[in-house]
Structure 1
Amino acid sequence: MQTNVDITVLEQLIDSLQSCFSVEEAYTNIGPLIKQLFPNETGAIYVMNVLKNQLEAIATWGPVPLTSEPIFTPYECLALRREQTHLVEDTHYGLICQHIRPNYLPVETICVPMMAHGEPLGVLYVSSLKRGQITQIKQLALTVAKHISLALANLKLRESLKNQSLRDPLTKLYNRRYLEESLEREIRRSERYPKPLGIILIDIDQFNRFNETFGHAAGDMLLREMGMFLPSQIRASDIACRYGGEEFLLMLPEASLATTKQRSEQLRRNVKHLNIQYRSQILDSITISCGVASFSEHGLTGKAVIQAARAALHRAKAQGGDRIVTA
């Protein structure tokens, strides 16, 4: 039975989730409010990982230690296996989930699967040491699980759509739109502190000849390989983008011109070690040319720095490729 307090807190939870901009923000907001809805019970909100082979508690609460494992597989929860609420009114006689800790065995438990569009997102787990307690809050648990499911599904969809709009579909690197937004932000940050900002414009040498020799499918495969190679060569704070065609751009916040040149030389050497296979055939190693520029040494705007890097790249190509040229 829901009280006026429950309804008020539930409304706060719904409003809080609807105002979140990300799934991570929602995880942070859930904990304090869910605790108010189930003050006398122990429980947790579990969410499914990307591979859908593991659930992890993102919020826990209760007057006693959590009576369920903090991480478990979907197979270990009867509610997920059956895709329906699993209520155990007496754990000494009922069929309990495998994720419930035997050393902290509660009297009653309920697992409510959090579903959206037919897909499991997680589980709401609530337990009690008092008989009859869970039965009283069962309807509230169902309502809470429903609202959390819908909110998380909407946030995940929003993040997915946003990510798609900012990523190149072929290479999965950031696209030019994201680059322009990030570049302006980093330029302002570099002006404020001030800090250097390195730019590396990269071009795959002889890419058109590669396409003509092996076909466009092989060319797309090569671009995808570059899409995996570049992120493996940079720091978490760096940004790798597909700039257009066979061109890529790396933005290196707080990297001096000397550091940027050193990083581009490492890229030039390492790309030759890529093991590229197409239709069971190992292809010749590829080479790249790089144009290097730095803010504010080579321009006072993002556009100016990229133009300087492009002019340097053109000189590198004109000199035969497989080289680094600084603006």
Structure 2
Amino acid sequence: MDNAMSTTPPEPPLNAIAELLKQRDQASSALANIDRALHLELTRAAATGTDAISPTALLRQLVIQPDVANGVLTATDALASAFPHTQGTLGLRSAQGSTRIAGAWRLGQSGTHLLKDSGTSLAPPSLTVPLNGYSIDIGELRLWSVEQQTQTLPEQATIHAFAVAIEAGLGGLILKERLAGDSARDPLTGLFNRRYMEDTLDRELHRAVRKQLELGLILLDIDRFRPFNERYGLPAGDQVLRALGGLIQASFRGSDVCCRYSGQQFVVILPEAPLADTLRRAQQLQVLVRELDLRYEGRTLPRISLAVGIAHFPRHAAKGDNLLAAAESALYRAKQHGPNHVMIAEKYE
């Protein structure tokens, strides 16, 4: 019966930690492979006099990233720079075995956009490289050549050198997130908790300032949730929160950070998202929530709706606290207009 945030996260089981540490030890062979692959790549780079990012530099960048989402952005940035005449996707494998596109690049421009029609209209990839690090099935790297037919992909040894660096870097980040997962996740919804959200927002704003990027912030609140709990009970309310958390997680990009902010409020951080895209994604979620079928102990629960406040960097604020305050003000105005409304923030003064 949660409707309040848990403040004491459970400790990871000791046997789980032991298994993860065992997997970490197994990474030594992967690092040896990196050394061999990088020697070939760096020898070639020295011969051609290129200054492009190397697998070594990519690995050094990956190991200092705070989480997998930032690692994916770093990897796609590097791949876009290293292979400017290709387009590609970086897919991550879920626990259920499905693969989602977490990052992509097109003609040297990185980001988390999907390729045309989510990739369905593209020809089969020119090259697919499975990614496995620390005994973890990370996902796969896919590349398409977009130059004239006479052009070919870069040497496969170079591509595989980058793949090995991604395996070691992302594999380590995934391992770290699994070890720390319980302390960063809300136990009821499985989304990130408020502390993680606040830390991530500060990091993403710092990156946005440094790279002159945009950032969207969505603050969600379930309409009339207190009367719902009073009528149907807290366990039914918890079921609603679980269902909504799953829908939010499934409705956003892999690079977006979905969090439970407080009892019935949720926050989504959208790196590199223009204001118009942030608004569109929030409105799409409102439609999906209105269609969400909710059941508890064999009975159908009434449908719910969301009030939404939206804020944007740099339009509305430049600091994390101020951006949240701007979104909260917009949410308050949305709730004043009645259920299922969305409002855009005003500039925070």
TM-score (norm: length of structure 1): 0.55
Amino acid at match of 2:190: K
Q: C-alpha separation between the residues in 2 aligned to 1:190 and 1:32?
A: 32
What's 1:269 paired with? 287
What's 1:207 paired with? 225
What's 1:293 paired with? 311
Asked if residue 314 in structure 1 is aligned to residue 313 in structure 2, the reply is no
Q: C-alpha separation between the residues in 1 aligned to 2:30 and 2:337?
A: 61
* Cα 1:321/1:22, change in 2 over 3 Å: farther
Amino acid at match of 1:231: Q
* Cα 1:242/1:23, change in 2 over 3 Å: farther
Deviations 1:170-193 (A, max 9, x none): 111000111111111100111011
CA contact (8 A) 1:198 1:292 kept: yes
Q: C-alpha separation between the residues in 1 aligned to 2:255 and 2:131?
A: 28
Q: How many percent of aligned residue pairs carry the same amino acid?
A: 38
What's 2:150 paired with? none
- How far apart are residue 31 of structure 1 and its match? 4.1
What's 1:172 paired with? 190
- How far apart are residue 159 of structure 1 and its match? 4.9
Q: C-alpha separation between the residues in 2 aligned to 1:308 and 1:291?
A: 8
Amino acid at match of 1:293: A
Q: Secondary structure at the match of 2:268?
A: strand
What's 1:17 paired with? none
* Cα 1:287/1:22, change in 2 over 3 Å: farther
Unaligned runs of 5+ in 2: 1-19, 34-93, 97-129, 138-173
* Cα 1:192/1:269, change in 2 over 3 Å: same
* Cα 1:284/1:32, change in 2 over 3 Å: closer
CA contact (8 A) 1:22 1:159 kept: no
Q: C-alpha separation between the residues in 2 aligned to 1:57 and 1:319?
A: 49
Tell me how many residue pairs correspond in the alignment. 198
Amino acid at match of 2:184: L
Q: C-alpha separation between the residues in 1 aligned to 2:21 and 2:207?
A: 24
* Cα 1:258/1:215, change in 2 over 3 Å: same
Q: C-alpha separation between the residues in 1 aligned to 2:31 and 2:324?
A: 47
Q: C-alpha separation between the residues in 2 aligned to 1:175 and 1:159?
A: 14
Q: Secondary structure at the match of 2:293?
A: coil
Q: C-alpha separation between the residues in 2 aligned to 1:58 and 1:309?
A: 40
Deviations 1:114-143 (A, max 9, x none): xxxxxxxxxxxxxxxxxxxxxxxxxxxxxx
Q: C-alpha separation between the residues in 2 aligned to 1:317 and 1:229?
A: 21
* Cα 1:27/1:258, change in 2 over 3 Å: farther
* Cα 1:194/1:25, change in 2 over 3 Å: farther
Amino acid at match of 1:309: A
* Cα 1:159/1:293, change in 2 over 3 Å: closer
* Pairing partner for 2:203 from 185, 196, 214: 185
Alignment map for 1:113-124 (pairs within 5 Å): none
Asked if residue 29 in structure 1 is aligned to residue 33 in structure 2, the reply is no
Amino acid at match of 1:30: S
Q: C-alpha separation between the residues in 2 aligned to 1:174 and 1:160?
A: 13
What's 2:302 paired with? 284
TM-score (norm: length of structure 2): 0.52
* Cα 1:24/1:195, change in 2 over 3 Å: farther
Q: C-alpha separation between the residues in 2 aligned to 1:22 and 1:254?
A: 34
Q: C-alpha separation between the residues in 2 aligned to 1:308 and 1:184?
A: 15
Larger RCO (alpha carbons 8 Å, 6+ apart):
2
Q: Secondary structure at the match of 2:254?
A: coil
Asked if residue 219 in structure 1 is aligned to residue 218 in structure 2, the reply is no
Q: C-alpha separation between the residues in 2 aligned to 1:207 and 1:235?
A: 27
What's 1:239 paired with? 257
Unaligned runs of 5+ in 1: 1-20, 35-48, 60-70, 72-154
Q: C-alpha separation between the residues in 1 aligned to 2:95 and 2:244?
A: 24
Q: Secondary structure at the match of 1:178?
A: helix
Two-structure CA RMSD over aligned residues (Å): 3.3
Q: C-alpha separation between the residues in 2 aligned to 1:249 and 1:32?
A: 38
* Pairing partner for 1:195 from 201, 213, 233: 213
* Pairing partner for 2:266 from 248, 270, 273: 248
Q: C-alpha separation between the residues in 1 aligned to 2:132 and 2:305?
A: 46
Deviations 1:7-60 (A, max 9, x none): xxxxxxxxxxxxxx98876554234669xxxxxxxxxxxxxx978xxxx9969x
